[in-house]
Structure 1
Amino acid sequence: MHALVVVAHPKSVSFVHTVAAKVAEGFAQSDPNNSWEIADLAAEGFDPRFTANDIRVHLRTAQPSADVLAEQTRIDRADALILVYPVYWWSMPGLLKGWIDRVFANGWAYDEGADGRLVKRLRHLPVHLVAIGGASQRTYARHGYFGAMKTQIDHGIFDYCGAPVKTSELLLRSDVDDLAEHLEKACTIGINASRHPEAGTMTRAA
């Protein structure tokens, strides 16, 4: 199996990147034949701005630009998609949201016809979400933040495309005295990402 681990954090030396590396380590540990790739969106300079051409792509009057096609190709190679990101304003960073806005395009992630009929094209792609927040579990629970995140991200984005969300984890640094506990959990997420029977057995919708 092959995993694409997408990271959205501007500092290469950060807890978010450490968690991503641990997830990849767990994925590799599960099977010696497994492979993985880390897409560091900040380091790679991905442009998250939704352009006029992206609108034309949505309307099916233009082809995606080269940078978008490259990201779609990376995802097409993957048996599992793993997103690791910090929580900014109770959601994902703008860099990652812009990556989704541009890459998960009409005609690739889904087909939306003129009659309103929707075809979900990513049913073959298991998704694992690992969000890292600074507030306490009590804060998230009191305000319903994590539930809101699951609604907008798990359901609003990935269910719309048909991609099954197998992991939706919130790691809160303020809830543990030893961050090694979070790193162990990250490794376990990577291990589990390679064990879903659906992964690698379904084909992309035509």
Structure 2
Amino acid sequence: MSKRVFLTLFISLFMLLILSITAGIWVLVKPKSDQESESTFIGGAFILTDHNGQKITEKSFPGKFKILYFGYTFCPDICPTGMTIISEALDLLNDKSAYIKPIFITVDPKRDNVQVMAEYHRHFHPSFSNLTGTQHEIDHIAKLYKVYYKKSNPSEIKDYLLDHSSIMYVLSADGKYLTHFGPGATSAQIAAFFNREIH
């Protein structure tokens, strides 16, 4: 074998080795998928109070999928629409709805006390848990779920409105983030997702 051929083979094998090492390193350090990344940074420990006055934490309702929706009872349109869509999705799921816990969390604890949340509960699917808390507790869980909210007319003392994000967060039975639905989601889309997840 000539020196030239030997040198060519040596260079080829060396380049192949470098490529293999590079590929191996990329596999070890490659970024996680968007969903894996989001599941790491969305959610966490909290303690709130439901519409019956019972304390609820992230560990409540074990073994059930959770769908969390943030809003407030004085919301004129967006929140009732979202609550209705979730309620209709649960109706579409029939018996499978028993494996899902819908949770409504207020971003307006100043007005949405336990009594107000209990009254609001009467208008939507009975399996809902409506949660409230102190301003600090609400600020904490809103931060955990990256929820935006702000008074749209702060000059009004009583009849103020809130600008807020309108996202439905879906958690697995062990409390991990799975996905979310935006304002355009339909009850059929939500039901279809749970039909795929619940076997």
Normalising by the smaller structure, the TM-score range is 0.3 to 0.5
Q: TM-score, normalised by structure 2?
A: 0.33
Q: TM-score, normalised by structure 1?
A: 0.32
Greater Rg by CA: 2
